[in-house]
Amino acid sequence: MPGQVFGHTADGQAVARHVLSRGSLRVAVIDFGAAVTAIEVPDRAGRSANVVLGLDTLEGYETVSPSFGAVVGRYANRIGGGRFSLDGHTYRLPVNEGPNTLHGGPRNFGRRMWRVERSDATSLALARLSPDGEEGFPGNLEVRVRYSLPGEGVLRLDYAATTDRPTILNLTNHSYFNLAGEGAGSVLGHEVRLDADAFTPTDATQVPTGEIRPVDGTPFDFRTPRRLEAHIRDGDPQLAIAKGYDHTFVLRGPAGTLRPAATCIDPGSGRRLDVWTTQPALQLYTGNNLDGTLIGPSGRIYRSGDGVCFETQGFPDAPNRPTFPSAVLRPGETFAATTEFRFSAA
């Protein structure tokens, strides 16, 4: 099914918007950045609203978007110092967040065109070839993401990738959720639970130190539901560095198995999001860098705390942290990961 034209890139490429629908769930995705631009779900009274932040124009996604809804890579999250070593060779990457490389560099996968492989009413398969040397990473990487609606209220993301040279890989979807509705204001009243007993503290540049710290007795303990605002202003040095939550949580259970990772509830609307994933970790990010300069489709500005991200992924800076799970992908191997966003209301 062909999508509707959403706009044209600065170099003239047509970008399409694809709408998937099943029951009360509607999801819009563009083939620039493989970005989710809208997810419409009902509240407890049956009123539907878009529950992800986004922008009105393609130009916004191309120039100023903080990865709204995008699939980012080749390496999601941070690589310290913009460099890593693999098989005795050191690779240098463009830095785009202080001294570090964030999400794979300034022209990461979220700022690239993807090609449509298959499209129907309930699924969309997108792919791209990331050539050897793109943003400094080795190997020709063929990467795919499939969005599908396998059941009522379920948005499923299946990732796959192969390479012709040893490389590193970390993929995630960077949707900013507001279960009260896009443009509804702060999400800090949302109740969140994480299936994680530990997190990875960072240095002053937000790169993990290598420590895996238990959440017990810290503001990072979401093992039972609590509002995001409950401890976000505590005088914890980790919260001060990130201006809120922007940390990797170590998920329970074996990576590679689809298991619960997070639950988020908006008490006002009754909307609920359950996140399931095969990935080893989840980055909880409370939109701390939204500064009022971006305006959403609602016509309302986005400020710090107006969206929350549940970025299922591998560990940040893993190539430089031998104690973290490996992010290396070699020829003959296939990277595969699945995340499900399950929506309901009560």
> If one looks up domain 4-345 in CATH, what number appears?
2.70.98.10
Mean confidence (pLDDT) of the chain:
98
The one catalytic residue in 18, 174, 190, 247 is: 174
Residue-range domain boundaries for the chain? 4-345
pTM above 0.95, yes or no: yes
Distances (CA, A) of 277 to 24, 75, 183, 231: 23, 18, 27, 26
Structural contact between residues 128 and 141, judged by C-beta atoms closer than 8 angstroms: no
Q: What is the mean pLDDT of the segment spanning 107-113?
A: 98
Distance CA 19, CA 4 (A): 9
Distance CA 342, CA 325 (A): 27
The closest of 304, 307, 326 to 315, measured between CA atoms, is 326
Any binding-site annotation on 78? yes
Phi, psi angle pair for 82, to nearest 5° = 65, 35
Cβ count within 10 A of residue 43: 19
Question: pLDDT band for position 3 (50/70/90)?
Answer: confident
Strand order in the sheet with 115-120: 115-120, 123-130, 141-151, 154-163, 335-345, 271-277, 259-265, 191-194, 226-227
Structural contact between residues 26 and 14, judged by C-beta atoms closer than 8 angstroms: no
Structural contact between residues 160 and 169, judged by C-beta atoms closer than 8 angstroms: no
Question: pLDDT band for position 200 (50/70/90)?
Answer: very high
Bridge partner residues of 26 (DSSP): 21, 40
Structural contact between residues 313 and 281, judged by C-beta atoms closer than 8 angstroms: yes
Q: What is the mean pLDDT of the segment spanning 113-132?
A: 98
User: If 0-12 CB within 10 Å is exposed, 13-18 middle and 19+ buried, where does residue 31 land?
Assistant: buried
Any binding-site annotation on 176? yes
On the question of pLDDT at 1 being above 80, the answer is: no
Active-site residue, 229 included: no
Distance CA 236, CA 212 (A): 16
Contacts 24+ apart (CB under 8 A), 213-217: 215/249
Distance CA 236, CA 168 (A): 32
**In this structure, what DSSP letter does residue 239 have?**
H
Distance CA 186, CA 15 (A): 31
Any binding-site annotation on 147? no
The whole-number pLDDT of residue 2 equals 76
Structural contact between residues 228 and 294, judged by C-beta atoms closer than 8 angstroms: no
CB-based burial, 164-198: b 16+ in 10 Å, e otherwise: eeebbbbbbbbbbbbbbbbbbebbbbbbbbbbbeb
Question: pLDDT band for position 32 (50/70/90)?
Answer: very high
User: If 0-12 CB within 10 Å is exposed, 13-18 middle and 19+ buried, where does residue 56 land?
Assistant: middle
The whole-number pLDDT of residue 142 equals 98
Any binding-site annotation on 96? no
Q: What is the mean pLDDT of the segment spanning 256-261?
A: 98
Any binding-site annotation on 77? yes
The one catalytic residue in 134, 182, 191, 311 is: 311
Q: What is the mean pLDDT of the segment spanning 49-67?
A: 98
Any binding-site annotation on 112? no
Distances (CA, A) of 296 to 51, 120, 215: 12, 28, 34
Distance CA 269, CA 135 (A): 42
The radius of gyration of the chain from alpha carbons, rounded to an integer in Å, stands at 19
The share of the chain scoring above pLDDT 70, in percent, equals 100
**pLDDT tens per residue across span 307-326:** 999 999 999 999 999 999 99
The closest of 208, 218, 217, 212 to 198, measured between CA atoms, is 212
Active-site residue, 103 included: no
Under the phi-then-psi rule, with left for phi > 0, alpha for psi from -120 to 50, and beta for the rest, what region is 343?
beta
The whole-number pLDDT of residue 202 equals 98
